[in-house]
Amino acid sequence: MSDASLTSEPADTLVPVTVLTGFLGAGKTTLLNHILTAEHGRKYAVVINEFGELGVDNDLVVDADEEVFEMNNGCICCTVRGDLIRILGSLMKRRNKFDGIIIETTGLADPAPVAQTFFADEDVRAKTRLDAVVTVVDALNFLQTLKESPEAHQQIAFADVIILNKTDLVDESQLKAVEDAIRKINAFAPIHKAQKGNVKLTDVMDVGGFDLQRTLSTTPDFLENTHHHHEEDVNSISLSLKTPLDAGRFQMWIGALLQEKGADILRTKGILNFEGQSDRFAFQAVHMMADGNDIGPWKEGEERESRLVFIGRNLNRPQLRRGFESCAVA
């Protein structure tokens, strides 16, 4: 069976879809923002999937002119594939408003079932084409992540393009070890080194990287209905607080928490309302490494609510909530 036989329209009329994947904290949203703000004259519809009941990633995406759809009631590779199909269907009704679609998966997604959607569903197959699965790799944490999480292995194995991110945080020998580990899993995908997701757009968009025949040769059951099960010990905790936060108190609490529990906390991200500050503050951390910056003022009429999401193992909800609430202004 050829690729062409699976579509009912000429290939050049199908909407190109790029799937951004990569483990928690690798830099998918940073790469997405780089794509959306670059000078390319193209307009993209964006679908964001989060692992957790409280959406944060939507606020971490730049205020571009794009349409952003959020799915945070399950993981795109298993429980909400139906949602993805419905969103794609609604997008096709206003096909003339965008040039392509970008899907950012959760950091725990297996990209294979996501890619499968573009061949298994007849309506999706008739109007879209999977251009490439782009996997973002955290050069600093990848080797450890590979030992602990089968999802990281799957994300590399299924990649058409690999963005080796955070290369400024490792030395040459570490970088070579990471590249060697990647090549043992995937010998075909080009590897582009990057810092803060800063790559040439021609490396990630419209690359025509997805090859169904190659995929079937390595994964013969690709087009069969498969189910993905996440590591059972990884879960997410979402916290929210309407009272403004004391910035100093928050920094002390989160710093001590990540120092003590950072090995188990795979990813932390949040939108925070600090007292006396007019801008929203975006906080992000991978294990013990944390970062944050202002991302512009709160929208008019928007409730100033701090939201914080933890993804990891052995998370203690009451303890995390008490700590978060202790950062509120008295």
- Write the pLDDT tens digit of every residue in 64-90: 444 555 554 444 444 556 777 888 888
pLDDT number for residue 76: 44
What is the pLDDT of the chain when averaged over all its residues? 80
Q: How many CB atoms lie within 10 A of CB 93?
A: 7
pLDDT(18) > 90? yes
Given pLDDT bands bounded at 50, 70 and 90, which one contains residue 225? low
Predicted TM-score (pTM) of the model is 0.67
pLDDT for residue 53 is more than 50? no
Decide if 320 contacts 312 (C-beta within 8 A).
no
Give me the half-sphere count of Cα atoms (radius 13 Å) on the Cβ side of residue 142. 31
Q: What is the pLDDT of residues 133-184, one digit of tens each?
A: 899 999 999 999 998 888 888 889 888 899 999 999 999 999 999 999 999 8
**In 3D, which of 31, 40, 327 has the Cα closest to residue 195?**
31
192 sits in which H/E element? strand 191-193
